[in-house]
Chain A
Amino acid sequence: MSKPLDFDAAEQLAMATGDVEPEQLDHDAPVSLPPPGPRYEAVPRAASPAIPEPEGELLEVSVGPHHPSTHGVFRMNVVLDGEKIVQLKPVFGYLHRNHEKLGEQTTYLGNMPYTDRLDYFCSLSNNWAYALAVEKLAGLKVPERAEYIRVITAELTRLVNHSSLVGFLLHDMGTMGTPLMYAFREREKILDAFEALTGARMMCNYHRFGGCRVDLPPGWLDQVRTIVDNFPRFIDEMERLLSENEVLIARTHGVGVLPPELAVNAGVTGPSLRASGINYDLRKVDRYGIYDRFQFRVPLGEKGDVYDRYMMRILEMRESVKILQQALRDIPEGPVIDPKVRLRNFTPPVGEAYGRIEAPKGELGFYLISDGSKKPYRYRIRPPSFINLTVLEDMCRGHTLADAVIILGAVDIVLGEVDR
């Protein structure tokens, strides 16, 4: 592991480019920052290039919607030349639930539980992003204790998501679910904590505008402390079993490379973007909530292939543990919700707001327009899995179908969020 770089966070957005060549890096010398300003020209993405003349006959295969490794009802229309992919068209919408339109027919509070169902692995992060958007719209302040609880729940969610993702990725590689079951063993402990806090294991619904629903149950912080203190052992175990595994290295190195230019232009966010070497983490860029109080680092990848994306998850889990330890140490006593907020009959002033957080899968944004009534006039979501999925074809072309499966696995999608 290299020594952390001394980046000034304010300059990060400007240089969210990471075009510092790894070999130029001298970790002890001061880093010369590139001049601010956009580093990438916006290149319109061309339509799929014409299929090159194949040697044999092309075979069209429809992978999905009922396929064990499409992670839900998702379809890829793949054109194969032998086993090489020449074209891949993602087809989705099988799980479309009219989420955005429903949001416009429902009160602000009534919409809160719907957000759990977007990315059902990370319901608490979704809650937070929505709450953040509404708080911006109504100009609400969040009590100190509630901010800490939000960070704790969001980072626990990240641990759940990343550990399960590594398990699913390995399952796609054919490990019969052994790493997945190891990950689920840890996930169970966190879900127990979520259940104690929110009453639900997966569809947790806990954040509110201006804070959180109720205060923590007695003993909850100790429970979480135990989980967090034991978590690095699990990460070590996973790394020992997987990171140096010969087959995993053979399967993931150089597979599904996402060039940084393409990643930026396509709007890819989250671990996939950082695996391509671009330093962009909303927790550092926006410093929403109280993230500026914690010491943590943002890991950056080197090649942008599936292995880097896998490593990003592992390294981010380690950083999340650090954040959690600090938050659990510093959490103050106090109210968890602003008593002046009237959740029922909640009517924000006329206006618009965009609230975004660094969800485990990338930038999760909620855009709201209020016309002063009890329901939002316009409700729009920027789902990270959906936008990360748009580069799937570029990553898969030229690889085999077996690679496409793990490339898709490493993108980390949840169809509830993709289709909404």
Chain B
Amino acid sequence: MSATFAILATWTVLAALGAMALRKPVHAALSLVGALMGVAFTYLNLGAEFITAVQVLVYVGAVAILIVFVLQLTRGEGVEGESLAVQPASLGLGIALLVTGGLIAAVVFLPDWRAAWPEKGDVALKRLGEVLMNRYVVALEAIGLLLTIAMIGAVLIALKRPDSQPPES
């Protein structure tokens, strides 16, 4: 384990804990951003530049922003001051342990996963593109379609219908 990885791992874990434990929702969200950045830099440490950039672009630039936007829009609806962690704590801890244990077990015991470890840290971007556009093209298109449907659905929900009458009060 290199020193860089140790620093990044500690940072990521601490930030993730902060995201769970901090009292103010915005603090928790910002802490989550820290954890995501830690993961991104871990990718960079492994030589996956493209994945780093995409991680930052998607998770920090879009998902985290979405979270803080939602927090702003639903401000004052009773979450302020309470920890966002799952209650009771044992349940959350149990789920977390289960997921972590599963991941570790998969890496340690499944032969396929160990074999895929690349020798060189440099994942060729071209190869990634070719694989996505050839072998996994159906999956890629399906995801694209799913996201489009989700977006249209969101627009439909948000759309004010001009013909609908406000309820008489």
CB within 8 Å of B: which residues of A? 56-57
Q: Is B86 an interface residue (CB 8 A)?
A: no
Can you name 3 A-B pairs with beta carbons within 8 Å? A56-B73, A57-B75, A57-B76
How far is it, in angstroms, between the C-alpha of A105 and the C-alpha of B108 when the chains are bound?
Answer: 96
How far, in Å, is B70 (CB) from chain A's closest CB? Answer: 12
What is the total number of residues of chain B having a CB less than 8 Å from a CB of chain A? 3
How far, in Å, is B155 (CB) from chain A's closest CB? Answer: 16
For residue B76, which residues in chain A have a CB less than 8 angstroms away from its CB? 57
For residue B73, which residues in chain A have a CB less than 8 angstroms away from its CB? 56
Q: Which DSSP category, helix, strand, loop or mixed, fits chain B's interface?
A: loop
Q: Which DSSP category, helix, strand, loop or mixed, fits chain A's interface?
A: loop
How far, in Å, is A295 (CB) from chain B's closest CB? Answer: 51
For residue A57, which residues in chain B have a CB less than 8 angstroms away from its CB? 75-76
Instruction: Kindly supply a per-residue 1/0 record for chain B positions 62-89, scoring 1 wherever the CB is within 8 Å of any chain A CB and 0 otherwise.
Output: 0000000000010110000000000000
How far, in Å, is B76 (CB) from chain A's closest CB? Answer: 7
Closest to A82 in B: B73
Closest to B75 in A: A57
Closest to A59 in B: B75
Closest to B76 in A: A57
Interface residues of B in 67-121 (CB under 8 A from A): 73, 75-76
How far, in Å, is B7 (CB) from chain A's closest CB? Answer: 41
How far is it, in angstroms, between the C-alpha of A56 and the C-alpha of B75 when the chains are bound?
Answer: 9
How far, in Å, is A220 (CB) from chain B's closest CB? Answer: 61
Instruction: Kindly supply a per-residue 1/0 record for chain B positions 145-157, scoring 1 wherever the CB is within 8 Å of any chain A CB and 0 otherwise.
Output: 0000000000000
For residue B75, which residues in chain A have a CB less than 8 angstroms away from its CB? 57
For residue A56, which residues in chain B have a CB less than 8 angstroms away from its CB? 73
How far, in Å, is B67 (CB) from chain A's closest CB? Answer: 17
Instruction: Kindly supply a per-residue 1/0 record for chain B positions 7-40, scoring 1 wherever the CB is within 8 Å of any chain A CB and 0 otherwise.
Output: 0000000000000000000000000000000000
How far is it, in angstroms, between the C-alpha of A56 and the C-alpha of B158 when the chains are bound?
Answer: 12
How far is it, in angstroms, between the C-alpha of A56 and the C-alpha of B71 when the chains are bound?
Answer: 12
How far is it, in angstroms, between the C-alpha of A57 and the C-alpha of B76 when the chains are bound?
Answer: 9
How far, in Å, is B165 (CB) from chain A's closest CB? Answer: 14
3 nearest A-B residue pairs (beta carbon): A56-B73, A57-B75, A57-B76
How far, in Å, is A412 (CB) from chain B's closest CB? Answer: 36
How far is it, in angstroms, between the C-alpha of A57 and the C-alpha of B73 when the chains are bound?
Answer: 8
